[in-house]
Amino acid sequence: MKKSVPIALVFITAVIFLLEYFVLPIELKSTVTMLQNWGIILTAFTLGFGAVNMFVFHGKQVSRRAKGQWPYSLWLLIILVLFTLVGVIMGATSTQYSWLYNSSYFALSATVYSSLGFYMTSGIYRALRAKNAESALLLIVGVIVLARNAPALAAQFPILVNMDSWLSSVPTTSAQRGIMIGAALGAIALGLRTMIGRETGFLGQTTEGEKGG
Amino acid sequence: MELASVVQIWLAALFTIWIYSIAFRDNPFFKFAEHTFVGAAAGHSLVYGVDNIVRYGWAPLTAGNILYSIVFILGIIMYMRYHKTYFWVSRVPMALIVGIGIGLTLRSTVTSEFIAQIISTASMKVLGLDAWAAFSNLIFIIITLATVYFFIFTFPKAQGGRLSLISTIARYGMMAAFGYSFANTVLSRFNMIFGRIDYLMNTWLVLPYAMLALPVVLILVIYAMIPAEKRPWPKTKNNS
Amino acid sequence: MTAKPKTIWDRLEDIPREILYGLLLVCIIVPMLFPIGFPVPISAEVKRWYDTIEALPAGSVVMVDFGYSGGGEPELAPFAVATYAQLFKKADIKVVTMSTASEGPLLWEKAMTELNIARFGKEYGKDYIHIGYIAGTETAMAAVGKSISATTTTDYKGTPLSKYSIMQGVDSAEDFALLIEYTTGGDQSEGWVRQWYTSYKTPYLCCVLAMMVPTMLPYQKAGQIVSVVSGAQAGQIELLVKAPGRGVKSADVITVTHLFCIALVVVGNIAYFGKKFSGGKS
């Protein structure tokens, strides 16, 4: 029952959505609308998991006074609580929360994303080598597109634009389409398997009785 | 400029420099910035989670829609996943989310990522066009078919002997695609670095004393990169 | 045992990363201090983006998803700002914005400040509005496509939507002439194809990070997306809209850094082949 009820719920919910889309759009419209709104609210509840996991993990680091780590963990928890208090009490779009966001999270997020550019530079230099035919092809296409992406080079050598256009519309799009079709088949198979209970990853931890298989 | 704006710019600039320092060496300033980032991310998610629950759940409930009390109960029991014994109770709301997700995705994935893509490929002409266009379309169709074959027929018999030509064509097609993606990734990241350096130069360094502070900040960061046992200060238990 | 002396190929193959990163920073900072003013050619996809918006008839309502996180702001915001400028320059175009990313509402406010919306004479609630962050990605897209009023009754600040004239007669995807997306997430860019284009055939313009463009090209080829562009092409749309900003500024830096990358590829391969043909092992 601990397994079969959730699996049955997945099946019934998914079937309702499929029936509404393909067979009974008017009869099931209000049910699907309600379920979609419930889905939004339940997803909102899941946004708290990160905070809970942070408290569990970093709380242990602080209580155990983990060497070299606990001051950082304590600071992390302080920031977490500060953001939460300001955001919930003053409002998620308040001037105060906006200030906090712009002075810390936004700058950190933008910088972390961009810092990978440094590692890419190192990667370009050390890894982009024409060691065999396949890597040579990757390198040649990469260099052509790098040159085209430089605005001055594209303006000076219009042939780069034509080459880039062909590379993007023929080999790139076709290979990506092949990957997309394969991934779509996989997603459909995974969805169907989950509906019939053959994929149970979403159930999470197993009980003692379930561990036997 | 208001003091709050000035403080905001200074904090954002310092965090930017501290995060970039990891490209050279790990150091306490980076660790501090990293933990600030993680804490802020978790806090921000929680704030907007609460905001959504209030706007899309609490508001209809207090407006008289009693059925929304069910979704509140389901949302709360989702946190039973942390309980040692009753964690299985959280499977019910998770099942609802998974069911909604599968229902929404299945009903349109077949059309958008399967049928539409196949129709688009099948409708490509190879006759009645100029040579280059016909050649390009033919290459397109061949690479698409080869790539689909490569991912679906993964067992050895389908990849060996003369059939290995199909895998070779697929791999070459994908190498071209990955080379294209790689170059675009470089463009993306460098654009982002430009954005942050532009912020430092044109928003922070124009503030009073920022130009004086820059070398001080850099010296402190470089000093912090020295391994703790070689640093004269602060003393750790090992080098005191 | 004495170590083998390093050959020129060894040295060329093993330039310390600190030097590489330092040179990269020089390639970024020098063009910013001494702008060159390299030209910015307009690509076909950006022209198509621009033309699609220009062709919108008066009275059209546009849905914009501000679905990017802070990490994507440096790349996507300039493109978003230029597009809003184009939309607001047109007479009688209404813009309804939502966010499928939790940072969306705050980043939208940032973009509106950068846009300096007052110069267009547009009024919040009458010409444009933000209906807030809605969790659930595709669930949110499907819900809003079916009925905005059944999903949310307030704007992003909590003010009832009934107070705003912009939302009169606008409730489902069928009421929108165009969908524009800015995102750093594949779930969002692909989700709109599944939930809006497939169901309602809403014309869809998609702006993503440059690294995500290849994965979106099959949708463009199949006609499901009108134009897929990257935020890195912001300089082009700024020139078309005649509102130069951060995008145009980045052109010099992008040119110099890309030339630097090409040089690194050449040096790395010279070192590799030099070592290989001189009998050394890489």
Cα angle C107, C109, C110 (rounded to 5 degrees) comes to 60
Domain boundaries, chain A: 1-47, 50-127, 129-196
Those of residues 133-192 in A touching chain B at CB distance below 8 A are 133-135, 137-146, 149, 166-185, 187-188, 191-192
- Of all residues in chain C, the percent with pLDDT exceeding 70 is 98
CB neighbour list of residue A25: distance below 8 Å, 6 or more residues apart:
none
What pLDDT score was predicted for residue B237? 57
What distance in Å separates the CA atoms of residue A79 and residue A64, rounded to the nearest whole number? 20
Are the Cβ atoms of A114 and C110 closer than 8 angstroms? Answer: no
Q: Name the pLDDT band for A127 (thresholds 50, 70, 90).
A: confident
Got the DSSP string for B132-147? HHHHHHHHHHHHHHHH
Query: What CA–CA distance (Å, rounded) separates C189 from C212?
Result: 9
Percent of residues, chain B, with pLDDT higher than 90: 79
Question: Mean of the pLDDT values across residues B19-42?
Answer: 95
B26 to chain C, closest Cα gap in Å: 13
| Interacting residues of C2 by C-beta distance below 8 A, sequence separation 6+ | none
Which chain A residues contact residue B77 at CB under 8 A? none
B167 touches chain A (CB under 8 A): no
Confidence of residue B236 (pLDDT cuts 50, 70, 90): low
Identify the pLDDT of residue A213: 46
Question: With an 8 Å Cβ cutoff, are A145 and B196 in contact?
Answer: no
Of A143, A158, A176, the CB nearest to C262: A143
What gap in Å lies between CA C42 and CA A146, rounded to an integer? 17
Residues of B in contact with A37 (CB under 8 A): 56, 60
Lookup result for tokens 């002997």: B161
* Partner residues linked to C182 by β-bridges: C66, C207
Residues B158-210: tens digit of each pLDDT: 888 889 999 999 999 999 999 999 999 999 999 999 999 999 999 999 999 99
Of the residues B191, B192, B211, B218, the best mutation for testing chain C's interface (the one with the most C CB atoms within 10 Å of its CB) is B191
- Residues of A whose CB is below 8 A from C246: none
- Please give the Cα distance from B181 to A72 (Å, whole number): 37
Which of B19-23, B156-160, C66-70 has the lowest average pLDDT? B156-160
Nearest Cα to Cα of residue B17 among B228, B235, B239, B224: B224
Averaged pLDDT for residues C50-55: 98
Q: Where are the domains of chain B?
A: 1-65+208-240, 78-123, 128-207
Flag the least confident range among A14-18, A205-209, B159-163.
A205-209
pLDDT band at B240 (very low <50, low <70, confident <90, very high): very low
**B150 contacts in A (CB within 8 Å)?**
178
Does residue A37 have a pLDDT over 70? yes
Q: Does C30 touch chain A (CB under 8 A)?
A: no
Contacts of A176 in chain B (CB under 8 A): 177
CATH class of C44-244: alpha beta
Position A113 confidence tier, pLDDT thresholds 50, 70, 90: very high
The model's pLDDT over B77-91, given as tens digits with 9 standing for 90+, comes to 999 999 888 889 999
pLDDT of A211 reads 64
> How far is residue A130's CA from residue C207's CA, in Å, rounded to a whole number?
33
CB contacts of C265 in chain A (<8 Å) are 124-125, 128, 139, 142-143, 146
Q: Is residue C280's pLDDT more than 70?
A: no
- Which of C74, C132, C142 lies at the smallest CB-CB distance from B191? C74
Which residue's structure tokens are 């309980």?
Answer: B83
pLDDT tens readout for residues C190-238:
999 999 999 999 999 999 999 999 999 999 999 999 999 999 999 999 9
Question: What is the distance between the alpha carbons of residues B128 and B132, in angstroms, rounded to a whole number?
Answer: 11
- Would the pLDDT of C1 be above 60? no
Q: Report the residue of chain C nearest B109, measured CA to CA.
A: C194
How would residue C10 be classed by pLDDT, with cut points 50, 70 and 90? confident
- What is the C-alpha to C-alpha distance for residues C190 and C209, in angstroms, rounded to an integer? 13
Mean pLDDT for chain C overall: 93
Whole-number Å distance between alpha carbons of A187 and C7: 52
* Bond into B234 cis (ω within 30): yes
Those chains having 3 or more beta-carbon pairs within 8 angstroms of chain C are A, B
Mutation to test the A interface, candidates B29, B189, B194, B198, most A Cβ within 10 Å:
B189
pLDDT in tens, C257-279: 999 999 999 999 999 999 888 87
Per domain, the residue ranges of chain C are 9-38+258-277, 44-244
Main-chain dihedrals φ then ψ at residue C124, nearest 5 degrees: -65, 135
The closest of C268, C209, B182 to A141, measured between CA atoms, is: B182
Would an 8 Å CB–CB cutoff place B73 in contact with chain A? no
Judge whether C41 is closer than 8 Å to chain A, CB to CB. Answer: yes
User: Is the confidence at residue A202, as pLDDT, over 90?
Assistant: no
Q: Which residues of B touch C16 (CB under 8 A)?
A: none
pLDDT surpassing 70 at residue B235: no
Between residues C9 and B80, which one has the greater pLDDT?
Answer: B80
Whether residue C218 and residue A106 make contact (CB cut-off 8 A), yes or no, is no
